[in-house]
């Protein structure tokens, strides 16, 4: 996909979590600039381990926002594209830098309804554009709301 976008003179930069995965290497091979960040999401507390993960998430929250702001500045990012519901650090960084937000919702029905309902006002206020991956995710995330969205189906390999 990056090759096709580059033909249209569109370049994108990825900020992704630090980790042992191969995502940064895949991005490099594809010619995509990627930045390791302390990105993270909160976890439902089921045990002591998830409790500690949430403490770590809170501890890294502000440094992550600052890291994203630095990337947005240094790379002169024009649009911030968020993947997933819980990308709060990206929302805050984009708003601080006054950049438009495309919020891509794709996880299906893994979140409890109360969480979705709580996030709808945030999505409505923050996102300049909302993308869902299917009619069912649209229904799940946008039911009882007045948020305009676009459906872009995920590619199939």
CA distance to 30, 60, 126, 134, 140, per residue, from 152 (Å): 22, 32, 20, 7, 15
**Average pLDDT in the 80-84 region?**
91
Instruction: Specify the pLDDT at position 111.
Output: 83
Please identify which residue in the block is written with the tokens 């309804």: 113
141 is written with which tokens?
Answer: 């995330």
Question: How far apart, in whole angstroms, are the C-alpha atoms of residue 58 and residue 40?
Answer: 9
**Average pLDDT in the 105-122 region?**
83
44 is written with which tokens?
Answer: 């439902």
pLDDT band for position 48 (cuts 50, 70, 90): very high
Q: What is the mean pLDDT of the chain?
A: 86
CA distance to 67, 101, 111, 122, 146, per residue, from 92 (Å): 12, 10, 21, 11, 22
Instruction: Specify the pLDDT at position 6.
Output: 73
H helix runs in 30-155, sequence order: 48-74, 88-96, 113-126, 135-142
Instruction: Specify the pLDDT at position 144.
Output: 62
pLDDT band for position 99 (cuts 50, 70, 90): very high
Any idea what the Cα angle at residue 123 is, between residues 119 and 124, rounded to 5°?
115
Whole-prediction pTM = 0.85
Instruction: Specify the pLDDT at position 116.
Output: 86
Instruction: Specify the pLDDT at position 109.
Output: 67
Quick: pLDDT tens for 53-73. Answer: 999 999 999 999 999 999 999
pLDDT band for position 106 (cuts 50, 70, 90): confident
End-to-end Cα distance, the chain: 13
């Amino acid at each position: 996909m990056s090759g096709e976008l580059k033909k249209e003179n569109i370049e994108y930069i990825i900020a992704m979590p630090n980790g042992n995965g191969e995502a940064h290497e895949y991005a490099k091979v594809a010619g995509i600039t990627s930045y390791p960040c302390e990105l993270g999401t909160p976890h439902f507390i089921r045990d002591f381990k998830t409790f500690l993960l949430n403490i770590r998430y809170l501890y890294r929250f502000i440094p992550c926002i600052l890291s994203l702001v630095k990337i947005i500045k240094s790379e002169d990012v024009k649009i911030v594209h968020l993947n997933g519901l819980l990308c709060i650090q990206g929302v805050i960084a984009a708003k601080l830098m006054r950049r438009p937000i495309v919020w891509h919702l794709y996880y299906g029905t893994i979140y409890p309804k109360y969480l979705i309902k709580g996030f709808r006002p945030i999505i409505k206020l923050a996102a300049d554009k909302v993308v869902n991956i299917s009619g069912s995710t649209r229904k799940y995330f946008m039911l009882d709301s007045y948020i305009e969205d676009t459906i872009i189906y995920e590619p199939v390999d």
